[in-house]
Amino acid sequence: MRMLMNNLDPEVAERPDDLVVYGGSGRAARSWAAFDAIVRALRELENDETLLVQSGKPVGIFRTHADAPRVLIANSNLVPHWGNWDEFRRLEALGLTMYGQMTAGSWIYIGSQGIVQGTYETFAEAARQHFGGTLKGKFILTAGLGGMGGAQPLAVTMNEGVCLAVEPDVTRIQRRLDTRYCDEIASTLDEALDQVREACSQGQPLSIGLLGNAAEIYPELVRRGIIPDMVTDQTSAHDALNGYIPAGLSMEEAAELRARDPQEYIKRSMNSMVLHVQAMLEMQRQGAVVFDYGNNLRGQALAAGEQHALDFPGFVPAYIRPLFCEGKGPFRWVALSGDPEDIYRTDEALLNLFPENESLKRWITLAQQKIQFQGLPARICWLGYGERDKAGLLFNDLVAKGIVRAPIVIGRDHLDSGSVASPYRETESMKDGSDAIADWPLLNALVNTASGATWVSLHHGGGVGIGYSMHAGQVIVADGTPEAAQRLSRVLTNDPGMGVIRHVDAGYDEAIDCAQEKGVKIPML
Ligand code: NAD
């Protein structure tokens, strides 16, 4: 219940009054009446009962057992033949479903801090592959300063680079300034470029939010012959109606057109995405490192007629897959006490648990200096198979001994190693061509349920939009009891284990080595 409420905390959610948490229209509950009913049900729920939530609405409570999940959630799922935005929106308008995104509808969103390490690791890996390990003196162009995209400027400056982030909504830029994710705001391109040039020439990290539209600014940069070192984008392109602002419209004009003529709005959005992608393709031709940042911008441009849209890669095959092979992904935890000291205590305990892990040490130190808490204090760090279970048991022990003041909630993004099928993102260009096989997220939800996670969710359409992905989430509470220790040990082994077996099955050597080294049982290996 606290995590549901935390998702909608005004410091955490992008539009809490509309129940929208992040990612365009990703909601925590279907309606305020449904929210109230979920809260009532959770308050009354017995320790051997399970609440069922269907796309943000509580629909039943069954007697299960103490080790079973307390909540099971299914969001936005449609029979594949009907899995498209038109049908989804028709059903949504009838009040029958909601868009759950990934962690919005599964109550483990923790604000931009939840993504910032993934974004940091992505830029760090890109820096290693292309620029000798640092973004110092490099000009990184991106767009979208929303819930997830807002992590980009900070992730770039943490890698010592200079970030220009194009965003048409001044309130979003202001929010990133207020939370110190972004350093400066510029209202004209000339002003922004002056700042970029100066910071690059001095090798000074700097991030600038430029008030503007990517579908106008990116092509304008090409016209001027200004080619950044690296280019990406995190507008909510996956949702052409609610997530993307077409070129030529102010925020007010966009809102008016969206309400008056949604079809015309979608047409303009899709055409703008073609211009946006064409500029990125041209920058790539002229030497920039260009990648898609998991918002289906390429898929949308392809659907709108740009045949070359997929000529630049997605970030997962380019930078993240080797981590997925070892079950590594965005592990996160939250202090239910609300006391930041509890997170600092977990930080310290974790560093003592993995003293040899230098990158963990660097990350936790940076995070403590640079990342402001939003809502309940939380931390994120990428841990893999054989690490997450140890961390979970450690936190349970801290709760049991009273070293932290209240239970710790442990979860992860659905963007994880073995929990998602998404051919334009997490499972793009799999070695064996299994990109669209969606059995894996289903098995993930089933094994987490069988292992005793506290809540388990199964979604469709997160990240890249309806029709393009299936994914599962799990959250488990460390309440300090021996029973919780048993559950933690099972769930936090089996959940990342799914990532290992999924990549073994696809033939990745890194995953095979990991499975053999760590003794993951795989019948046909
Ligand atoms: P959000 O809806 O909170 O923010 C999107 C932002 O893009 C808004 O601020 C909006 O004003 C801006 N925008 C819209 N049209 C624009 C345009 N034409 N030019 C410039 N800016 C524009 O969404 P979010 O939570 O930040 O997520 C952004 C996208 O990234 C989504 O598609 C999401 O699915 C995807 N995503 C990626 C990752 C990842 O790890 N790469 C993780 C989660 C989500």
Per residue, what are the HEC states of 40-92?
Answer: HHHHHCCCCEEEEEECCEEEEEEECCCCCCCEEEEECCCCHHHCCHHHHHHHH
This complex has an ipTM of: 0.97
Backbone φ and ψ for 30, nearest 5 degrees, come out as -70, -35
- The answer on whether 268 is annotated among ligand-binding residues is no
> From the CA of 459, how far away is ligand 1's center (Å)?
19
* Protein residue with least CA distance to atom 8, ligand 1: 146
Look at the block and give the residue holding tokens 């051997």.
48
Instruction: Report the alpha-carbon distance of residue 305 to residue 302 in Å, rounded.
Output: 5
pLDDT of residue 149: 96
Instruction: Report the alpha-carbon distance of residue 191 to residue 174 in Å, rounded.
Output: 17
Radius of gyration of the chain (CA): 22
- The answer on whether 147 is annotated among ligand-binding residues is yes
* Residues whose CB is less than 8 angstroms from the CB of residue 47 and which lie 6 or more positions away in sequence, other chains included: 66
Query: Which among 185, 183, 191, 236 has a CA at the least distance from the CA of 214?
Result: 236
Query: Per this entry, what is the length of the chain?
Result: 525
* Protein residue with least CA distance to atom 9, ligand 1: 146
Query: Which among 438, 327, 434 has a CA at the least distance from the CA of 386?
Result: 327
Burial of 33 (0-12, 13-18, 19+ CB in 10 A): exposed
Strand-pairing partners, residue 304, are: none
Q: Which atom of ligand 1 is nearest to the CA of 14?
A: 3
Backbone φ and ψ for 458, nearest 5 degrees, come out as -130, 120
Selecting among 163, 182, 200, 381, the annotated active-site residue is 381
- Residue 427's SS3 state is coil
Instruction: Report the alpha-carbon distance of residue 93 to residue 183 in Å, rounded.
Output: 40
* Protein residue with least CA distance to atom 25, ligand 1: 23
Q: Is 463 in the pocket of ligand 1 (CB under 6 A)?
A: yes
- The answer on whether 213 is annotated among ligand-binding residues is yes
pLDDT tens digits, 216-270: 999 999 999 999 999 999 999 999 999 999 999 999 999 999 999 999 999 999 9
Domains and CATH numbers, the chain: 1-111+321-520 (3.40.1770.10), 113-313 (3.40.50.10730)
> From the CA of 140, how far away is ligand 1's center (Å)?
17
- The answer on whether 111 is annotated among ligand-binding residues is no
Could you count the other beta carbons within 10 Å of the beta carbon of residue 465?
Answer: 28
Instruction: Report the alpha-carbon distance of residue 80 to residue 269 in Å, rounded.
Output: 25
Q: Is 329 in the pocket of ligand 1 (CB under 6 A)?
A: no
- Which two structure tokens, joined as six digits, stand for 216? 């106008």
Q: Is 238 in the pocket of ligand 1 (CB under 6 A)?
A: yes
> From the CA of 234, how far away is ligand 1's center (Å)?
4
Out of 22, 122, 173, 234, give the residue to mutate to test ligand 1, the one with the largest number of ligand atoms within 8 Å of its CB: 234
> From the CA of 235, how far away is ligand 1's center (Å)?
3
Torsion sign, CA atoms 315, 318, 320, 324: positive
* Protein residue with least CA distance to atom 42, ligand 1: 148
Is 381 one of the catalytic residues?
yes
Q: Is 422 in the pocket of ligand 1 (CB under 6 A)?
A: no
Q: Which atom of ligand 1 is nearest to the CA of 169?
A: 11
- Between the two ends of the chain, the Cα-to-Cα distance in Å is 42
- The answer on whether 411 is annotated among ligand-binding residues is no
User: Running DSSP on this structure, what letter comes out for residue 452?
Assistant: T
- The answer on whether 236 is annotated among ligand-binding residues is yes
- The answer on whether 245 is annotated among ligand-binding residues is yes
Q: Which atom of ligand 1 is nearest to the CA of 247?
A: 18
Secondary-structure breakdown of the chain: helix, strand, coil percentages, each rounded to the nearest 5: 45, 15, 40
Q: Is 167 in the pocket of ligand 1 (CB under 6 A)?
A: yes
Kindly state the helix (H) or strand (E) to which residue 173 belongs, with its residue range. Answer: helix 170-178
Instruction: Report the alpha-carbon distance of residue 7 to residue 147 in Å, rounded.
Output: 12
Torsion sign, CA atoms 413, 418, 422, 425: positive
* Residues whose CB is less than 8 angstroms from the CB of residue 325 and which lie 6 or more positions away in sequence, other chains included: 417, 499, 500, 503, 508, 510, 511, 514
> From the CA of 492, how far away is ligand 1's center (Å)?
30
> From the CA of 314, how far away is ligand 1's center (Å)?
15
Which pTM value belongs to this model? 0.91
Q: Which DSSP string corresponds to 353-416? A: HSTT-HHHHHHHHHHHHH----SS-EEEEEE-TTTHHHHHHHHHHHHHTTSSSS-EEEEE-SSS
For residues 505, 510, 512 and 516, what is the CA-based torsion angle, rounded to 10 degrees? Answer: -150
Q: Which atom of ligand 1 is nearest to the CA of 145?
A: 9
Q: Which atom of ligand 1 is nearest to the CA of 464?
A: 34
> From the CA of 172, how far away is ligand 1's center (Å)?
11
Q: Per residue of the chain (525 residues), what is the pLDDT tens digit?
A: 999 999 999 999 999 999 999 988 999 999 999 999 999 999 999 999 999 999 999 999 999 999 999 999 999 999 999 999 999 999 999 999 999 999 999 999 999 888 888 899 899 989 999 999 999 999 999 999 999 999 999 999 999 999 999 999 999 999 999 999 999 999 999 999 999 999 999 999 999 999 999 999 999 999 999 999 999 999 999 999 999 999 999 999 999 999 999 999 999 999 999 999 999 999 999 999 999 999 999 999 999 999 999 999 999 999 999 999 999 999 999 999 999 999 999 999 999 999 998 888 888 998 999 888 999 999 999 899 999 999 999 999 999 999 999 999 999 999 999 999 999 999 999 999 999 999 999 999 999 999 999 999 999 999 999 999 999 999 999 999 999 999 999 999 999 999 999 999 999 999 999 999 999 999 999
Out of 117, 122, 148, 232, give the residue to mutate to test ligand 1, the one with the largest number of ligand atoms within 8 Å of its CB: 148
Look at the block and give the residue holding tokens 């402001």.
372
Instruction: Report the alpha-carbon distance of residue 464 to residue 396 in Å, rounded.
Output: 35
- Evaluate whether 495 touches 444 at the Cβ level (below 8 Å): yes
